[in-house]
Amino acid sequence: MQDNVMTLDRHFLDQQRKYPQARGAFTKLLSEIAFASKVISREVNRAGLGDILGRAGYVNIQGEHVQKLDLKAHDMMVRILNHLGLVCGLVSEEKEEFVTIPDRYPVGNYVVNMDPLDGSSNIDVNVSIGTIFSIHRKISDNPRGCAQDSLQAGFKQVAAGYTLYGSSTMLVYTSGQGVYGFTLDQALGEFLLSHKNITIPENAKYYSVNEAYSTRWTPGLKKYIEYAKTSKSDGGCGMSHRYIGSLVADFHRNLLKGGIFLYPADTSSPNGKLRLLYEAAPLAFVAEQAGGKASNGKENIMDIIPSDIHQRTPLFLGSARDVDQVVKYMAEDNQ
């Protein structure tokens, strides 16, 4: 193997060596999240076999109940995190309450907020989906953690990232020292460094929004979208529109190519749709570390102090100049 091939674990070790006081707990946690992603990736790749092997809600030939893939992804993550002794609890899109680690396992000083399988409406139609994760340090006095540990502002995250299950499986993460992307080599079963120090292009090439909801938008947002279509600021003839409807995939494309992702509030969803803790905040951390920005239209996503573990937020995310621009247009709505 070439000497410059960098596996994820080797990268984590190199990063850890920069901090002599580090004891490896955090590195181990990231490494196990990566392992969970590999297991989920394998299941996602078998998703089309559901009809042959048994549908969710039915019993398969081994007599086991076949789970929906998003619930399965949640269980895989939880099973892996339970055993580590590094995490005291977690918030998952799949569970209403803060999930504590069962008493029979030791706990540690981290909490994980996660969407085990985001974009679930795309699973059955073979469109890219992803896992999103966010890691915080425990702040409560409760030795086994509680919701307070998850309800921290985005700027308190110690690491965040996502795994995209697309034409290849890719893990992208930041721990506040830049953004790194690793592509899964299926034959080796290893994530290999493929994207070092990712920076988001300054000007957005794409705008990504569900335009079917445009009649419910505010006047400021409508104006921004017109601007996006016609802006010649980049010497071009306006931005192109790309919308998969799968947050991780839409964000990942825009991160690499330059773009802005918008999921605004509208007259029927006054708080938008996306979740602050395990969708908006982790992707905001990645975007900021890549030189981009994230806003809810008024406030930086990273500064919002959450009050509910499943809190929703409007989201404007991507190339810095364009996030600033949409915020400027939307300020007109408040005048």
Q: Per rule CB under 6 A, is residue 210 in the interface with ligand FDP?
A: yes
Please choose, from the candidates 309, 318, 273, the residue with its C-alpha nearest in 3D space to the C-alpha of residue 291: 318
Nearest-approach distance from CB 137 to ligand FDP, in angstroms:
26
Segment 31-90, which members bind ligand FDP (CB under 6 A)?
A: none
Stretch that binds ligand FDP, among 96-104, 146-154, 161-169, 240-248 (CB under 6 A): 240-248
Among 197, 216, 245, 332, binds ligand FDP (CB under 6 A): 245
Spatial neighbors of 151 by CB under 8 A, at least 6 apart, are 277, 305, 306, 307, 308, 309
Please count the residues of this chain forming the interface with ligand FDP, following the rule CB under 6 A: 12
**C-alpha to C-alpha distance for 209 and 221, rounded to whole angstroms:** 11
Closer residue to ligand FDP in complex, CB, 29/247? 247
Which segment (8-16, 20-28, 29-37, 114-122) binds ligand FDP by CB under 6 A? 114-122
User: In the sheet that 87-92 helps form, which strands lie side by side, from edge to edge?
Assistant: 99-100, 87-92, 110-118, 129-137, 159-165, 169-174, 179-185, 190-195
CB contact set of 47 (below 8 Å; sequence gap of 6+): 69, 123, 124, 126
86-98 b/e (C-beta count within 10 Å ≥ 16 → b): bbbbbbbbbeeeb
The alpha carbon of residue 247 and the mean position of all alpha carbons in its chain are separated, in whole angstroms, by 8
Q: Which stretch binds ligand FDP (CB under 6 A): 145-153, 232-240, 272-280, 291-299?
A: 272-280
Minimum distance from residue 129 beta carbon to ligand FDP (Å): 8
Residue 278 · residue 115 · CB < 8 Å: yes
* Identified binder of ligand FDP from the candidate list 27, 41, 113, 122, rule CB under 6 A: 122
Q: Is 134 in the site for ligand FDP (CB under 6 A)?
A: no
Q: Per rule CB under 6 A, is residue 120 in the interface with ligand FDP?
A: yes
Residues between 167 and 186 with contacts to ligand FDP, criterion CB under 6 A: none
- Given 8, 200, 274, 294, the residue binding ligand FDP (CB under 6 A): 274
**Residue matched to tokens 């989201």:** 315
* Shortest Å distance, C-beta 181 to ligand FDP: 19
Is the Cβ of residue 61 or residue 212 nearer to ligand FDP in the bound state? 212
Look up residue 271 and give its two tokens: 């708080």
Q: Is-contact 310 96, C-beta < 8 A?
A: yes
- List interacting residues with ligand FDP (CB under 6 A): 118-122, 210, 245-247, 273-274, 279
